[in-house]
Amino acid sequence: MKNLSYTEVVTTPNYSYVFNFEKNFVHMENRTWIQNNLTNSYYYCIIYVIVIFSGKYYMSKRSRFNLRGPLILWSSLLSLFSIIGIFRTLPEMIHTLTHHGFYHSVCIPSFIEQDVVCGFWSWMFALSKLLEFGDTMFIILRKQKLIFLHWYHHITVLLYSWFSYSEHAASARWFMVLNYFVHSIMYSYYALKAMRYKIPKFISILITILQIVQMIIGCIINIVVYQYLKNEKECNVSHKNIIFGLFIYFTYFILFCKFFYESYINKNNKFKEKITKKEKENHNKFKTN
């Protein structure tokens, strides 16, 4: 990966207020920490897999836990975190696109290196992917169905986020903002559902559609960045990052499409089949009578 020479003066958005913990953000210190602990992320993932499958085995012989209260608190906190994250990172994205253009948004990591607000929330984003492992524990303890997409997604997101942060991959600007946006809606939905509010079904469908769109955009961004590198343009994204990113976003796309089909399309077909079967039975009874 090339060391970029910033030939243009990079401006950042004028935030109405910058907190002290944001002002004190030093991107190189956190980058060094991630680089030194990158190998540990693999260990965390191994421990995660061992815990969830041993947990499934342990719970198979026991009654499910309700955990409604803790789930409300957990989902609400992650929802709040994601909402704050989108409000602190989206302005930088919009400012970059309007003042510096699309190329800058995918190739220049100014969102980490020159913007303390967005830089701090980029750091929080990377760390939160480890915290989100906690989602799975609620599934295990409440004896809900654990699908491959769920734990595969958690593992690969952690690995990719930490790897991208370790090299300050510029394309991560897009991935982070999109993820904050989708999660702000998703965790709000989970929190309200845990509170037993009646939520229209189209909201869950919308969330899955947004996730699929997110994966499509992720694939497109990686392909565009590859083209920039191929044309020998300066771009702070490694080839390894592109391969890793394109692989996981494409597999996410396939898995989320499969989930969408099984949850909303095939399920409706089965429901229609049951109705049709009942109608036929009633029709036969009527003919017999």
C-alpha dihedral sign at 252, 79, 52, 199: negative
Told to judge if 95 belongs to the known catalytic residues of this protein, a careful annotator would answer no
Cβ burial of 227 (10 Å; 0-12, 13-18, 19+) is exposed
How distant is the alpha carbon of residue 253 from its chain centre? 12
pLDDT at 288 over 50: no
**CA gap 245, 160 in Å, rounded:** 7
- Structure token digits, residue 114: 């020159």
- pLDDT for 4: 46
- Specify the range with the lowest mean pLDDT, choosing from 7-11, 45-49, 76-80, 230-234: 7-11
Please give the single-letter amino acid code of residue 220: I
Nearest by Cα to 197 from 65, 63, 64, 76: 76
**CA gap 237, 222 in Å, rounded:** 9
Report the percent of the chain where pLDDT is more than 90.
86
Average the pLDDT over 143-161 and give the result: 97
Cα end-to-end distance, the chain, whole Å: 80
Kindly name the residue from 153, 154, 168, 183 that is annotated as catalytic: 153
- Span 18-64, pLDDT tens digits: 999 999 999 999 999 999 999 999 999 999 999 999 999 999 999 99
- pLDDT for 266: 87
The residues, ordered by sequence, that sit 6+ positions from 170 with a Cβ below 8 Å of its Cβ are 105, 106, 107, 108, 109, 111, 235, 236, 237
Residue 267 — pLDDT band, cuts 50, 70, 90?
low
Contact by Cβ (8 Å): 90, 54? no
